[in-house]
Every structure is written in structure tokens, then in C-alpha cells.
Structure 1
Amino acid sequence: MPNLDSPQVIKVWDPFVRIFHWSLALFFTVAYLTEDDFEAVHFYMGYAISALIGFRLLWGIVGPKYARFGNFITGRDKVVSYLKSLLTGNAEHYVGHNPAGGMMVIALLLMLALTCFFGMTLLAIEGDGPLAGTFVTVFNEDLIEDVHELCANATLFLVFVHIAGVIVSSFLHRENLIRAMVTGVKKVVAKKDEGETYVGK
């Protein structure tokens, strides 16, 4: 475990972000695998994911520096520029999320939110769940079921892209991003302006 008092490491991911990240990964996996055979578990996982999303939206506003959306949400040009720089092996290091990683966070939160919403809409059409009795009950059940499944599969696709991005970034930047999300720290090798350039080993 890195020494947090050492100037060679910097604390990046706070405990709440790390708990959110791994809990979301677990809950989505369970929800996806229990869609057909264990409906009660599937429903509760959906509620848990919804609660996590709500927490992350709040934490993205009031949380510490690297948890805040303002720290990693960038424009399209920065995302494209970063992705191009990855191909040359000369991508800039970021202490928190890089532009592509930040975009992935938003994409995953959005797709998970849509998956949960359409799942609750299905329950509402059947007269159950928190949306029962609302306007969503007028929707066609078969259509909503297809959209819910589409969103879930799109989320799974984004998860695979996310994992691939973590592997590529870890290799190119010579850092262990998975370990950083467990320990919460990364090694700092230099300082540049107000940000830090680092490499985790």
C-alpha cells in the first residue's frame, strides 16, 4: 500500500468514488445475469443502481476535486485530440479522468439511467414500482421491453469499451489504473502548472 505521506504519491479517488465504482460494477453484473431467472434480484439491483446514480450526480457537484464533473467533462475537441494522441503514444497524462475517460463516465451514467428508467417503466405498466400510476403506463409494454434490453446491451458494450480503454491507457502511460481505483492513489513524477503529471507503478 503506498504511503500517503510521501510526496511521490497523490490521493486521487476518494473512498466514496471507489465504493461507487465497484458497487456499480457488481450491481450491473448481477442485474444483467438475473434478468430472466431471478426477477426479484434483478429489480432490487435496478433500484440499487438508480440510488448509486443519484449519489454520483450529487457527488459530482459537491465531492472533492477529482470526483467533480467540472474536473473531467471537456468539449468534443479535447476528447478527439486526446484519442488521436493515444495513437501516437504521446497522450498527455491526467491525474483524474482523461477527456475520453470523462466522456465514458457520462455515457455510462446516462445509459444506466435510461436502462433503469425503462425497467421501472415496465414495472409501472404492470401496476408496480415507483412509477406506477404515472404517465409512463400509457407506453406499449413490448416496445418498452425492447428499449430496456437495448439500453442494457448498450451499457454492456460501453463497459467493454471502458475496460479496453483502461488497459490501453495503463499500458501507454505505464500506470495501473485498476489498482489506483482500489487504493485511491497514483504516483506523481512531476508537476506541470497547476496539475500533476504522474506515472503509477
Structure 2
Amino acid sequence: MTHHRVWDPLVRLFHWSTVLLFAANAFVTDPESDLHLYLGYTVAALLAIRIVWGFVGPATARFLHFLPTPAGVTQQLSDMVTGRKRAHLGHTPLGALMIFNLLLSLAGIALTGYMMGTDTFFGIEWVEEAHELLVTWAEISVVLHVAAVIWESRRTGVNLTRAMVTGVKDVPNGLQIEP
């Protein structure tokens, strides 16, 4: 087993804080409550920090490091179909697509949530519907994300959840490593 430091503390703090805050806002808080607003603003602030970190943080945190390409996505899908196993030190190409999807979804949720509290957009139906649609899309995406993490962890032998907790990705000996 080889050990690779991949996720810095800020990326991990963003990830797990967003998990908890999104879950609390989606499933626990009253959407009309001040707590719902404060949690939403906290997610928006975390998202802003993560976006900045995606340009100035360490290599694996930078968006350019895990920008998915059609060739990379095709290669990963081919690996899955043929049973070929590779470890990616950062996000896999499909994982990167999901990360960008989730970041954009959270941004849309934050924007429409903010808009609903302004005089201009308060009570405007399309804004509320867009907010609810984005939340539903994010919930579906989270379920797919968790399922994919479990699938890829089992398929490759790399415990992706532990890597996001500890920051260290343990790669079985002999497994080809992609940057």
C-alpha cells in the first residue's frame, strides 16, 4: 500500500461542513426559519472560500488539476466496463464532473435563496420553484455521488471516504496511478 497526501484540511473542512449544513437545511430546519437562512449563508460563504481555494490552493484543490476531459471520462468508463483498475490521486474524471455539478448546484441554491429574501424577488414563484428544483437536483446528485464513491472504493480498493477524512489516499500496491 502506498500513501499519498491528497486532500488538504481546507478541502476536507469544506466537504464535511457542506455535507452537514446542506443535510440540516434540506431535512431538519424549517425553510421559513432564521436558522435555515443562516445555514444557507454559511454554505454560500464556504462555497466562496472553496472557489477561491480552487484557484490558489494546493495542486489537488485546484480546479485545473481535476478539470475533466472527454478522453478522461471515456477512459474511466472504459475502465469500469473492462474491469481495469486505476487510482487517481485527485478526483476521477467522473468524480470531477460530479464536483462541478454540486458546486454549481450549491451556487444556484444560494443565489435563489438570497433572491427570495430580497424585495425584488420576494414571493416570485419562479425563484422559489428554481430554488426547490435545485435542492432536489442536489439531493439526487448527492445520492449518486455517495453511490459512486462506494462503487469506486470497492472496485479499485481505494477507500475514498477515508481519504476525504484523513487527507491521505492509500493505494494498493500494483495499482496504476493517474495524476
Q: TM-score, normalized by length of structure 2?
A: 0.90
1:122 equivalent to 2:123? Answer: no
User: 1:150 matched to which residue of 2?
Assistant: 133
Residues 48-67 of structure 1: matches in 2 within 5 Å? 48-67=42-61
User: 1:19 matched to which residue of 2?
Assistant: 13
1:76 equivalent to 2:59? Answer: no
User: 1:4 matched to which residue of 2?
Assistant: none
* Aligned-partner residue type, residue 65 of structure 1: A
Q: Which of 147, 154, 157 is the aligned partner of 1:174?
A: 157
User: 2:83 matched to which residue of 1?
Assistant: 89
2:39 & 2:157 partners in 1: Cα distance? 35
- Structure 1, unaligned runs of 5 or more: 1-6, 128-136
Which has the bigger relative contact order, CA under 8 A and spacing at least 6? Answer: 2
Equivalent residues, number: 178
Question: What do residues 166-195 of structure 1 show as CA deviations (whole Å, max 9, x unaligned)?
Answer: 011001101211111111102243697xxx
Contact 1:60 1:69 in 2 (8 A): yes
2:51 & 2:153 partners in 1: Cα distance? 26
The structure with the larger Rg is 1
- Structure 2, unaligned runs of 5 or more: none
Q: TM-score, normalized by length of structure 1?
A: 0.81
* Aligned-partner residue type, residue 179 of structure 1: R
After superposing on structure 2, the runs of 4+ consecutive aligned residues of structure 1 that deviate more than 6 Å are none
Q: 1:31 to 1:93 in 2, by over 3 A?
A: same
1:41 & 1:191 partners in 2: Cα distance? 46
2:78 & 2:139 partners in 1: Cα distance? 25
Task: Calculate the aligned-residue CA RMSD, in Å.
Answer: 2.2
Question: What do residues 136-192 of structure 1 show as CA deviations (whole Å, max 9, x unaligned)?
Answer: x15861121111100000000100010011011001101211111111102243697
Contact 1:170 1:177 in 2 (8 A): yes
